[in-house]
Amino acid sequence: MPRSKPNHVQVHRLELGTWERDRIKRAELVAAGAVFASTAGIVLAGAGAGLAGYALYQWLKDGLFSDITPDSVAGFTKSYLSLAGQIVPNISWFGGGDYSAWF
């Protein structure tokens, strides 16, 4: 048997006081901050990907492999030998080696 149509409507109303409204405002600000933080993270990730792509383009724009010349080999060897010379005193310093390299 179908239900009959209601002849009156009951309204239930919740009214918030000042304390509750202040707490809701704070919760709303926290929620908005969370949305903004995730949006900012997505934007920064996109910008970082674009910057990485541009850096890769600048790195590879003259060709993937350049010609090997004696000058390029000498420059490469000189730079890495100077780097090794800087690392070796650091390693000996931890082992109680010669401290004169630091002063």
Residues 28-70 pLDDT 10s: 998 999 999 999 999 999 999 999 998 888 877 766 666 666 6
pLDDT score at 92: 52
> 101: closest CA among 77, 85, 79?
85
Distance CA(46)–CA(50), nearest Å, equals 6
Tokens 């919740």 correspond to 14
Q: Does pTM surpass 0.75?
A: no
pLDDT tens for each residue of 93-102 = 555 555 555 5
